[in-house]
Structure 1
Amino acid sequence: MRIWRLQELGDPADQLRLVEEDAPSPGPGQVLIDVEAVGLAFPDVLQCRGMYQVKTGPGFTPGGECCGRVAQLGDGVEGLEVGQRVAFLGNGGLAEQVVHPAAGVFPVPDGVSAETAAAIPINYCTTLYALRDRARLQPGESVLITGAAGGTGTACIQLAKAMGATTIAIAGGSTKVELLKEIGADVVIDHQATPDWVDAVREASGGGVDVAYDPVGGDTFHQVRRCMGWDSRLLVIGFVAGIPEVKTNHALLKSYSIVGVHWGASLAKFPESLGEQMRTLLDMAAAGTVDPPLYPPYRFEDAATALQDLADRKTHGKVVTIVGS
């Protein structure tokens, strides 16, 4: 069996190696899965570099979002069948076969491809948690999305639209702008053509947005806070451009909330929430309500390149690696 392993902390292109190892065997309560597709995200890059909240080291295997077919059932497993397509969440997915607890795999409805199922767990679950549970988004409200052409940004556009909101998307360059128009963003602003886009957002939202979804951070965060409307919610999703210093007097003056979104930590406190989120989103994918836009999928042999391209912001949409079929 082939599996990607980290040699030392550093950039994926430099430190990931594809190696041969013995295939794993499922223990009681586990299933062996033939992996078909793996979704990749920026936390995978941070973990390779040793910069994520959960520390890693040599031997680490990236790939936290997977879809595949059940190859073998461990003792005591019920409710699953060999050959059944399932999606699951957990590090170590960049391998041809993976053992996973049966309680943490979720059947994929007919008509949902392996690539689509692998694109859902992190981006869409994070965004569902952000919009529904943290922002309490209501129909008719406006949502500003930065980094909108990335995996979380496109997920936010689709879920916000499904919840009846108006979406204002920020991205850079004609390719990304066209992608966002294709997936249904109501307003798209090219930050390369309009570096100071705050006035454009205010105009589009009638003075200020109700919710902002910011996975970028850095200087972008300070433009976002100038776009906030009265009694609005600024969702802190991530820090691709760095961790900003927050001026709390501005939040006081406009009476908006700065809301942290740590989806991973929420699963530790409410472990049953993952199953509810995954079932909801897989059903939405089967119905066509959500349809993750995929960057052209990478071969399994090119997974290190895929992660490096993601790190270098050469991709858009969701990055997926095809392992098998």
Structure 2
Amino acid sequence: MKSLVVNQFGSVPQMNIEVRPDPVARNGFTLVKMHAATINPLSHQVRSGMVDTAKAPLVLSNDGSGLVEASGRFEKGTPVAIYGGGQLGITQDGLQQEWALVEDRRIIELPAGFDLDEGAALPINYVTAYQALTRVGKVVKGQTVLISGASGALGHALIQTARALGAIPIGVVSSAGKVARAQQSGAHSVIDLSTQDLRQAVLEATGDQGADLAFDPVGGEVLGQLLSALTTRGAVVSIGFVGGVTASINVADVVIYEKRVLGYDAWLETNEDVAVALKAIKGFINGGLLRPSIDSTFPMEQFAEAYERLLSRQATGTILLRL
């Protein structure tokens, strides 16, 4: 089978398509003929050498989709999505290859008619969104939540999941060209940081109350801005740092209004937590409340172009590698 392998991590990672032996089915695992795998920020962090537990050579990507070839749990031909958690594409070979042998517990059976491209974009984004909103943020129906990076794949999942949970999402984007995508995701309103002051816009949208919660896949200077736009005892849940690993916050604002900054890391999820999240996500899918957003797809041979698209930060949805 063909596999996309990182042979050396670094600022200019060395990646090549190699021919490897096909995996052999065994008990407790499902053999999947891969349809597509994601190109996401985590994949880039791993190949850049930012994840200490990852060792080259390595096949990247911790979520994707395909058709079951052999399994003791699923029928042959079943369309499935794969949730790789903190292992696949990090400490174990991931999904950017033609075949994958995956533990049964990582397999999500897709509803009939669910598009395989959308299935590939489903697992990590929606598990992250659901757990960040519920386990960490403890969102309550009717609360107003800010979502940065709202035009991206995770922002899209956060908006849809927040709505499914009964919250009121306000999208935050970096340019006018991304407003429409956040609106299409279901944001109640959208704030464009290129023309609007975040705190002032949130106060206007909430009757001078501020938002109850904020969810931040971006990081950098945006985190401090989100914190300033919260109501008393509000919290920012920090999920990522594509915009930078350092932030500036107003300590007096944090102290006087008892605001909080919380972290979310998918690697810390237990099997039980993931099972609960996947059950809820499947219910939302069946109810027509969740549908992933695809930015672009690339054949395996164009992996360099796919990563260039990711690094451009212009993607409005998930980038897929077709396998």
Determine whether 1:122 maps to 2:124.
yes
1:260 to 245, 260, 263: 263
* 2:194 corresponds to: 192
Render the CA deviation track for 1:49-102: whole Å, top value 9, x for unaligned. Answer: 0113x53233111111021111123xxx3x322211222122210000011112
Letter in 2 for 1:222: G
Alpha-carbon offset, residue 314 of structure 1: 2.9
| Aligned mates of 2:35, 2:166 — CA distance in 1 | 34
SS at match of 1:302: helix
Determine whether 1:272 maps to 2:272.
yes
Q: Which moved more, 1:147-156 or 1:284-293?
A: 284-293
* 1:111 corresponds to: 113
| Aligned mates of 1:63, 1:263 — CA distance in 2 | 14
| Aligned mates of 1:197, 1:257 — CA distance in 2 | 18
- Structure 1 segments of 4 or more deviating over 3 A? 245-249
1:98 to 91, 97, 100: 100
Kept in 2: contact 1:234–1:259 (CA 8 A): yes
Determine whether 1:84 maps to 2:81.
no
Kept in 2: contact 1:87–1:117 (CA 8 A): yes
Alpha-carbon offset, residue 11 of structure 1: 5.0
TM-score by length of 2: 0.91
Q: How does 1:1-20 map to 2 (within 5 A)?
A: 1-11=1-11, 15-20=14-19
1:143 to 142, 145, 167: 145
Render the CA deviation track for 1:224-246: whole Å, top value 9, x for unaligned. Answer: 11101012121111111222255
Percent pairwise identity: 26
- C-alpha spacing 1:181/1:245, structure 2 compared with 1 (3 Å): closer
SS at match of 1:295: strand
Render the CA deviation track for 1:243-264: whole Å, top value 9, x for unaligned. Answer: 2255544322112222221222
Q: Which moved more, 1:55-64 or 1:151-160?
A: 55-64
* 1:37 corresponds to: 36
Kept in 1: contact 2:4–2:300 (CA 8 A): no
Letter in 1 for 2:258: S
Alpha-carbon offset, residue 300 of structure 1: 2.7
| Aligned mates of 1:245, 1:177 — CA distance in 2 | 25
| Structure 1: segments with no counterpart, 5+ residues | none
Alpha-carbon offset, residue 119 of structure 1: 0.9
| Aligned mates of 1:314, 1:166 — CA distance in 2 | 25
Q: How many residues align?
A: 313
Alpha-carbon offset, residue 306 of structure 1: 1.4
| Aligned mates of 1:278, 1:38 — CA distance in 2 | 19
Kept in 1: contact 2:83–2:108 (CA 8 A): no
| Structure 2: segments with no counterpart, 5+ residues | none
Alpha-carbon offset, residue 275 of structure 1: 2.2
1:242 to 240, 244, 248: 244
* 1:201 corresponds to: 202
Determine whether 1:70 maps to 2:68.
yes
Render the CA deviation track for 1:169-223: whole Å, top value 9, x for unaligned. Answer: 11123331111112221111111223x3221122112231100111111111111
Alpha-carbon offset, residue 313 of structure 1: 1.0
Q: Which has the higher contact order (CA 8 A, sep 6+)?
A: 1
